[in-house]
Structure 1
Amino acid sequence: MAWTILMISGMFEAVWAAALSMSAGFTRLKPTLVFIIACCISMGGLSWAMMWIPAGTAYAVWSGTGAVLAVVWAIITRQERITLARTLLLGLLIGSIVGLKAVS
């Protein structure tokens, strides 16, 4: 259960990162509210998961999950280009997240 909560928390990290970008320095209300809510859910889930998963592993998985999803979202919304190098590096990051789960 802790790993599921951790992965969901990582997903919410990507949500708050995207909302933060869209908030234009907290001048737009809706993205700012999404940021605050997603940040609370993300941090709360990370905190809860850290009761069962070591802090270093939990943080690496949480931040890695959020980073992968943030980049994928940026590619989907055409804010970033998809390149071979970016694809390979994202694959490496996903493999590292899976590896951390496997050795835990």
Structure 2
Amino acid sequence: MFNQKQLNILVIGNESCSKFDAVNIGNIGDKVYTIDINKKNSVYGFNPINKKDGYHVIGSALELDRYFEPNYFDIILLNGVFGWGINSIEDQRKTIEVIYKVSKKDSKLLIGWNVN
């Protein structure tokens, strides 16, 4: 799966505690997209300084299919969002469903969960 030249990567949730996620994930030439519902967190999202293509979206993870094509992402990082913004079981379920829609068949999903 990861022999292709370019990966499409999505980082969901951008805050100061995860500010290096979008910078460090992937390789030069990959497309890295970030999304956060809070406009002030844009500073922690995608930054072209890391020689990767992509952009930042100000929006809800519950509406990923509004911003991205179906079957697009190879890797999705969902870090620090469940319990810190997407709180209800129903919204968490909806988030996983929409992640499935925008993910390729053999994609990878990494969920970071913090109970503190």
Q: Which has the larger radius of gyration?
A: 1
Task: State whether TM-score is above 0.5.
Answer: no
- TM-score (normalised: structure 1): 0.38
Higher helix share: 1
Higher RCO structure, 1 or 2 (CA under 8 Å, sep 6+):
1
Q: Say which structure is richer in strand.
A: 2
